[in-house]
Amino acid sequence: MLRVAVLISGRGSNLQALIDACRQPDFPAGIVRVIANRPTAGGLARAADAGIATTVIDHRDHAGRDAFDAALNKDLRAHGAELVCLAGFMRILTPGFVAAWRDRLINIHPSLLPSFKGLDAQRGALDAGVKIAGCTVHFVRAEMDSGPIIAQAAVPVLADDDEQSLAARILEQEHVLYPQALKLIARGRVRVEGDRAIVDGDAAGPAMRRR
């Protein structure tokens, strides 16, 4: 079983999806720790409800990014984390931290990367008038929302969509995609070659989801 830590800042709906997946029999990963940088993160209660131990590392208690990331790293090591999943974690990590966890640190982002990096990805998709949006799970590199793409799911953008309706349609797919990506990694089916993640046995690629 792959030992996973999940980092959150907010409501934790993706955390919930990962918790639910890890509860399935034979799922090859388990969550050993949930860490939040905000004591008010709603996801902390989800972890507690699932009997998963939590740590709050409040970024306001640390002098800077290096000190915060050092505390984070220490907690992850202390609990034997082998893979770190960012799930709505709203802190930029230092290049040193990212390098220390290279190819063992993944993120989910609500766009089809490399389009619409950063905050307000759904707004960006609407403003650009794209007809297909989606979400991406990727290995984390120092530059925000970049790194080898492990999995993506696409959804249509409808003519009457607003940010909320599009975000909800994407989020539904995030909850499917993140556990799928985690399973692939935990089964050892994902390797990184240069800037790309290669998924064994996935030559045809995933089907586009319609909803």
| Site for ligand GRF contains 96 (CB under 6 A) | no
Among the listed residues 14, 55, 73, 173, the single contact to ligand GRF using CB under 6 A: 14
Contact partners, residue 132, CB within 8 Å, separation at least 6 = 112, 154, 155, 156, 157, 208
Q: Phi, psi (5° rounding) for residue 135? A: -140, 160
CB of 92 to ligand GRF, least distance (A): 13
Residues known to be catalytic = 109
Among the listed residues 35, 87, 105, 137, the single contact to ligand GRF using CB under 6 A: 87
Q: Name the 3-class secondary structure at 130.
A: coil
Residue located via tokens 């409800």? 49
Please report which residue ranges of 90-162 form alpha helices under DSSP H: 95-100, 121-128
| Site for ligand GRF contains 84 (CB under 6 A) | no
Residue located via tokens 């297909």? 132
Contact string (CB under 6 A) for ligand GRF, positions 99-138, x = contact: ---------xxx----------------------------
Among the listed residues 93, 174, 186, 197, the single contact to ligand GRF using CB under 6 A: 174
Only segment of 9-17, 51-59, 63-71, 195-203 that touches ligand GRF (CB under 6 A): 9-17
| Site for ligand GRF contains 13 (CB under 6 A) | yes
Cβ–Cβ contacts within 10 Å for residue 108, how many?
Answer: 24
In our burial notation (b when 16+ CB lie closer than 10 A, e otherwise), range 150-161 reads: bbbbbbbbeeeb
- Where does this chain bind ligand GRF (CB under 6 A)? 10-14, 87-88, 108-110, 171, 174
